[in-house]
Structure 1
Amino acid sequence: MANNPIPLIIPCHRVLAAGGKLGGFSAPGGLDAKMRMLELEGVRLGAADPAQQAFAF
């Protein structure tokens, strides 16, 4: 990262498991908290291509 002037930072709640599944989340509230944060950001769970939605800023 020292050579990269613009580091890519992806919030951990936006990281999905293989196949577009939610995967794990160790913060308080677990997967329920992860789902709520994604929904607050407008991500529709169960969409045709969740990987595309999860990283759409």
Structure 2
Amino acid sequence: MAFTASDICKILYVDPFPHVGVFLERGCGADFLINILLTLLGYIPGIIHALYIILKY
């Protein structure tokens, strides 16, 4: 899978707001809600999940 310029922009959004990167990649669905929950439970798990979603899809 190719790494595009839009992926770079999404990754830049992940650092301050992990849920924004997931929303831009997958929309408002289960992945978005899981990321919000992980971010509330701990900031680092939210970032890891967001990076995983962005790099996988």
TM-score by length of 1: 0.30
Structure number with higher helix proportion: 2
Which protein is bigger by CA-based radius of gyration? 1
TM-score by length of 2: 0.30
- Greater RCO between the two (CA within 8 Å, min separation 6)? 2
